[in-house]
Structure 1
Amino acid sequence: MLNPVWIQTFSTVAASRSFTDAARRLGLTQSSVSEHIRRLEENIGRRLFVRDTHSVALTADGESLLVHARLILEAHARAESQFKGPRLRGRVRFGTSDDLVLGPLPRALAAFRDMHPDVDLEITIGKTADLYAKLDQDALDLLIGKRRPSGPAGVTLFREPLKWLGKTGTVIDIKQPLPLLLLPEPSMTRSLTLNAVAAGGLPWRVICTSSSHTGCIAAARGGLGITAQPAFLTAPGIDSPVNVSSLPALPEVEFVFLRARRLSKPAQTLLDILQQSDLRSAG
C-alpha cells in the first residue's frame, strides 16, 4: 500500500533534493523523513534515492514513482476538497464553442463534476456569436469563446494558433483555388481564415460549409479540402498538408471567458477552476 504520507514525504524530498530541507518544509524530524522513505522503499521493493554526504538524487525508479506520486497527491487533494465542508449544490449554465469541446475543455469540466457532483452543469455548445447572444439574454452564466472584434472584451484565458488541416498525406495544388472547409457567417475562425488567404494572394473556393467544427473536420478527413482549426485539435486521419509551408500563414485565435453580472457560488467555483487550468494542455 502506498501510504499518502510517505508519498508526500517522497515528493518533498524529490523537490528539495535534501532530507534536511524536506523535514523543515514538512515540520518533521529528519529521522522521520528517513523512516518514511525507508518504509516506502521497502513497500515497493525499489531504491528511490542515491544519497551521499553532499547530495540526494532520484534513481530511475524514483523518477518513475514521482510521476505517479503527483497523480496520487492530486487525487488525494480532490477527495479532501469534495468531502470536507458542505456539498456544493445549484446549477451552472455554461456555454462553449465546439472546437474547445473537441479539444482541451472536457477534462476541466470533468474535474468540476468530480469535485461537485450535486451541481447541475448545463452545457450549451454552439457558435461564439450565438453564445454571446444567450449571455446577453441572461440564458447563460458563463461562456468560453473567441474574442469578438466588437462587443464585450472578456478576459483572456489563452491564445492558440490556427493550423491548416486536411486528410493525412494531402498535398495542396497552390496553382488551383484552395479548397476550403468553413463555418458559416458569422464566425471568427472563418473571418480569420479568409483574411489570411486574401493576404497571401491565393485564390480560393468554399467546398463545404458546416455549422460546426466537427463537420469541418469530418469533411477534411474525407479528403474534400482543407480547414483551419486551433492547434490543440487532433483527430485520426487528419494532419497538416504535406506542403503546408506553401499555404498562407494563419494567425492566433484568442479564447476568452465572459460571465453574467451576478454569479452563483457554483458558477464562480467553475470559473475559478477554468482560470486555474491550463486549457491548452488539458486535453
Structure 2
Amino acid sequence: MTVSAIYDDRMLDPVQLRSFAAVARARSFTRAAATLGVGQSTVSQHVRRLEATVGRPLLDRDTHSVSLTVDGEAMLEFAATILDAGDRAMAHFRASRVHGRVRFGVSEDLVLTRLPAVLADFRRRHPEVDLELTVGLAGGLEHRLDAGELDLMFAKRLPGPDDGRLVVRRDRFVWVGAPGLPLGPGDPVPVVAYPPPSLSRTAAVGALEAVGRPWRMACTSGSLSGLRAAALAGLGVLAHAATLVPDGLEVVGDRAGLPELGPVELVLAHGRRRSDPAEALVRSIRTADLRPESWTPPNGG
C-alpha cells in the first residue's frame, strides 16, 4: 500500500478539519469562509471531502441554517483535539523562532489574577516578542479589537452561542462587599458598579429588578481600585466573578437575601489576524492557573 493510499484511507486532513470546525462554530459557510480568509466554495469543498472520508454526513444544511448531525458533534470534538495537538507540536518546534508584536487587551479585574506572572514567563520564553498591554473595561477592549487596534483580548462575557472565542474558564458572578456589611434581606441594595456598558453592572441591576428588590446606585467608578475602595468603605455591594474577588472583600451570604447573578465566562478573542506571537501567548494563558494567590472558594452569594 502506498503512502498516499494510507493517507487517503486512514487520516483526516487538518485543513478540512479546520474548515469544518469553523463552519460548526459559526453555523454558516459564509462566516466560516470570512474567518478563515478563503472562499466559501473552498470551505464547502473541504467539508464535503471530510464527509466523504468518514462516510457520514456531518452537517444538516438548508437555505437558512447549518446544524451539526450526531456524527458532526462527535467530529467537532475529534477535530478540536487533533487541531490542538497539531498546533502544540508546531509551537514546540517553532517556539525559539517566535518574534513580532502582540497588542494584548485585558479586563482590569483579570490583572488581579496570576496573569502578571504568566506574562513575565512569556517574556522569558519569547524575548523577541514585543508585548504591548492595554488594561481597561471589556466594552472598550471589544471596540479596540473590532477596530484592529488589538491582536488579542482577555475579558469576561456572558455565556451564549459559540462565536469561536476560547473559553479559558467558566465562572459565576457573586455579590461582594466589606466584611460585616449591615445589609438585611428587606433593605434597599446600595450598588457599586462600573459605568455602562458593563457586564457586572448589567448582571447586578438585572438580577435585582427581576425579583423586584429596591436598589440605588451608591457609587460608579471606571476603575476596579475605585470600586474596591467604595466597597471597603461600606458604601455598597458589587457583582464580581467568584474566583476574582478583590482582596479585603468577601462574598455577601444569604443573610442579605440577594438574588443569584448567574454565570460568566473568561474568554480569549483574536483580532482580525492571528499571529504566531498571539498564538504563543494564548497557549501560555490556557495552561496557567490564573486564580489570585489569596483565592478561596466562596461559601455563599
The TM-score range, normalised by the shorter chain, is: 0.5 to 0.7
Matched, 1:131 2:141: yes
Matches for 1:7-22 after TM superposition, within 5 Å:
none
Verify the 8 A CA contact 2:177 2:236 in the aligned structure 1. Answer: yes
CA, structure 1 residues 150+242, in 2 after alignment: closer, same or farther (shift >3 Å)? closer
CA drift of 1:178 comes to 0.2
Q: Does 1:103 align with 2:136?
A: no
Matches of 2:198 and 2:95 in 1, distance apart? 44
Q: CA RMSD in A?
A: 2.8
Q: 1:238 to 1:219 in 2, by over 3 A?
A: same
What letter is aligned with 1:91? R
State the SS of the aligned residue for 2:235. Answer: coil
Quote the residue 1:241 is aligned against: 252
Q: Residue 228 of structure 1: which of 239, 249, 259 is its match?
A: 239
Q: Contact 1:169–1:239 at 8 Å: present in 2 too?
A: no
TM normalised by structure 1 equals 0.64
Within 5 Å, which residues of 2 pair with 1:1-283? Answer: 86=96, 88-147=98-157, 154-241=165-252, 243-244=254-255, 246-280=257-291
* Shift, 1:270, TM fit: 0.5
* CA gap 1:262/1:159 in 2 versus in 1, 3 angstroms: same
State the alpha-carbon separation in 1 of the partners of residues 152 and 113 from structure 2: 19
Shifted more, 144-153 versus 96-105: the winner is 144-153
2:184·2:256 contact (CA, 8 Å) conserved in 1?
no
The Cα of 1:150 is off from its aligned counterpart by: 9.1
Higher alpha-carbon deviation: 130-139 or 209-218: 209-218
Partner of 1:70: none
Structure label with greater radius of gyration = 1
Over the matched positions of the two proteins, sequence identity in percent amounts to 40
Letter in 1 for 2:99: R
Give, in whole Å, the separation in 2 of the partners of 1:207 and 1:265. 45
CA distance in 2, matches of 1:106, 1:160: 20
> What is the identity, as a one-letter code, of the residue corresponding to 2:238?
T
Deviations 1:91-150 (A, max 9, x none): 110001001112342232222122223321111111111111111111100001122669
Change in CA separation of 1:233 and 1:281 when aligned onto 2, cut-off 3 Å: closer
Task: Give the unaligned 5+ runs of structure 1.
Answer: 1-80
Deviation at 1:183, TM superposition (A): 0.9
Equivalent residues of 2:96, 2:126 under 8 A apart: no
* Alignment: residue pair count: 202
**1:228-253 deviations in Å (ceiling 9; x for gaps):** 11112244432123555621112111
SS across alignment from 2:283: helix
Say if 1:171 and 1:243, in contact at 8 Å, map to a contact too. Answer: no
Taking the aligned partners of 2:208 and 2:139, their CA distance within structure 1 comes to: 22
Deviation at 1:162, TM superposition (A): 1.3
Instruction: Return the alpha-carbon distance in structure 2 between the equivalents of residues 88 and 231 of structure 1.
Output: 35
How big is each residue's C-alpha offset from its partner over 1:39-75, in whole Å with a ceiling of 9 and x where there is no partner?
A: xxxxxxxxxxxxxxxxxxxxxxxxxxxxxxxxxxxxx
Q: CA deviation at 1:211?
A: 0.8
What stretches of structure 2 of length at least 5 have no aligned partner? 1-90, 296-301
Letter in 2 for 1:246: G
Deviation at 1:261, TM superposition (A): 3.2
In structure 2, the residue corresponding to 1:225 is in which secondary structure?
coil
Question: Conserved in 2, the CA contact under 8 Å of 1:93 and 1:124?
Answer: yes
2:112–2:246 Cα contact (<8 Å) kept: no
